Amino acid sequence: MSKHAEQWRLLAAGLAVLALSGPAQALKVFACEPEWAALTRELAGDQATIYTATNALQDPHQVQAKPSLIAAVRNADLLVCTGAELEVGWLPLLLRQSGNGAVQAGQPGQFNAADYVRKLEVPTRLDRADGDVHAEGNPHIQTDPRNIATVAQALGNF
């Protein structure tokens, strides 16, 4: 009896050693824009593998919810996006098609940078006659370098 218990204990210890010694699972990050990919790389170093959804030559308002992006969101542990409706034309669709519960809106796997900075031009009047209005304020928070530091702090604590 005690021999059996001893064997089990050994097995458990072996498994634990295996689990600890194995290569640490890198956090899979889906960055909506290259700015956030660069920031995440600075903060996480080699502890994260980062997928950048768009490149600097793309208009982040007008991105196709293409198959490669759906697959990337499906496999992501963390989404780092601008928020404030910048990605409203494609991210909601990716989220719905990804079947990944961990990164849905409001879940711990979704980080929206614009939640952490003061947004300019929050409209007091919502009317499409005024053009394509962002209801949550100007999402182009990257244009103020001080915002990046604030977001870095928030993302670091996230």
Partner 1 sequence: MRAGCRKDHLMLNQVSRQPGLRLLALACALSCTLTLPAQAADDSAALTQLRRQIDDMRQEYEARLKALEARLEQARSSSAASAQPVAEAAPQATPAPAPAAQAGTSRAGNNSFNPAIAVILSGTYAGLSKDPGTWQLSGFVPGGDEVGPGARGFSLGESEIGLSANIDSWLYGSLTLAVSPEDTIAAEEAFVQTTALPNGLKLKVGRFFGGQGYLNEQHAHTWDFVDAPLAYQAFFGGQYKQEGVQAKWLLPTDQFIELGAELGNGHSFPGTDRNRNGAGAVSLFAHTGGDVGDSHSWRAGVSWLRTQAQNRTWDSTDALDQEVTNAVTGQSRLWVVDGVWKWAPNGNATRTSFKLQGEYFRRTETGDLTYAFADPAGLGLTANTDGYRSAQSGWYMQGVYQFAPGWRVGLRHDQLDSGTVDYKGNAAKLLATDYKPQRQSLMLDRSPSEFQRWRIQLSDDRAREGVRDSQIFLQYQMSLGAHGAHSF
Long-range contacts of 10-19 (CB under 8 A, 24+ apart): none
Site for partner 1 contains 153 (CB under 8 A)? yes
User: Cα dist. 44→38, 76, 107 in Å?
Assistant: 10, 15, 20
For the chain, report the end-to-end CA distance as a whole number of angstroms. Answer: 48
Residue 139 and residue 114 in contact, taking contact as beta carbons nearer than 8 Å: yes
Options 3-11, 16-24, 37-45, 132-140: segment touching partner 1 (CB under 8 A): 132-140
Q: Count the alpha carbons within 13 Å of 148 in the hemisphere toward its beta carbon.
A: 13
Which residue among 66, 76, 80, 127 contacts partner 1 (CB under 8 A)?
66
* Binding map of partner 1 across residues 100-129, x = CB under 8 A, - = no contact: xx--xxxx---xx-xxxxxxxxx-x---x-
Options 9-17, 19-27, 37-45, 94-102: segment touching partner 1 (CB under 8 A): 94-102
Site for partner 1 contains 29 (CB under 8 A)? no
Site for partner 1 contains 30 (CB under 8 A)? no
